[in-house]
Amino acid sequence: MPTILLSMVSLSNWIDSLKGIIDELTLILGGILLILCILTVPFKKEEWTMTLVTDSHLLLYSGLLLTGAFTTLYLPIVLISLSTTVWIIGIMQLRRILRILGLFDLIIAILASLMILGAKMLEPTTLLISLIVLAVELGLVAWLSLSNEDEIVKD
């Protein structure tokens, strides 16, 4: 997927209409890759998980930067959904690296949201919603970890 975008960037020097859609296309393709990564769990295609996780990270982070959405409330939404997805897939597929990556994504989401959005994140309603989302993610991860505790201990 990243090669498709790089070829579109190269072609955008000749075709001006491509310049306007590359930013949004990067973010959309990152979301599609994240959905495909979720689908590796029910379809038992674990061999594709790391490739899809890596590509979705590259495209979502670069898509947030290219579109300028990193200065809006889309930043915590995208980063926390990425963290939750990777962490849960790591628990379901018993992959330690994905669980660690999901934790790092959560830390990056919290720090980036506080640093970039600053005062907007500390407003009472936004802070309440953020803490509820954080509690739901950590509760879901804890519940899945406890239900798969025997397999995770072996890992």
Domain count, the chain: 2
Residues 83 and 153 in one domain: yes
Say if residues 70 and 37 touch (Cβ distance below 8 Å): no
Average pLDDT over residues 130-155: 90
Which residues form the domain of 30? 1-67
Count Cβ neighbours within 10 Å for each residue of 21-50 and write b for 16 or more, e otherwise: ebbebbbebbbebbebbbebbeeeeeeebe
Contacts of 54 (CB under 8 A, 6+ apart): none
Task: Give tens-digit pLDDT for 37-61.
Answer: 999 999 999 999 999 999 999 999 9
Q: Which residue has the tokens 């739901």?
A: 136
Q: What percent of the chain has pLDDT over 90?
A: 55
Answer with the one of 67, 96, 115 that is the final residue of a domain: 67
- pTM for this model (two decimals): 0.86
1 pLDDT exceeds 70? Answer: no
Task: Give tens-digit pLDDT for 2-48.
Answer: 677 778 777 877 887 777 788 888 889 999 999 999 999 999 999 99
Residues 55 and 103 in one domain: no
Residue 41: name the closest of 110, 104, 91, 115 by CA.
91
Contacts of 12 (CB under 8 A, 6+ apart): 18, 19, 22
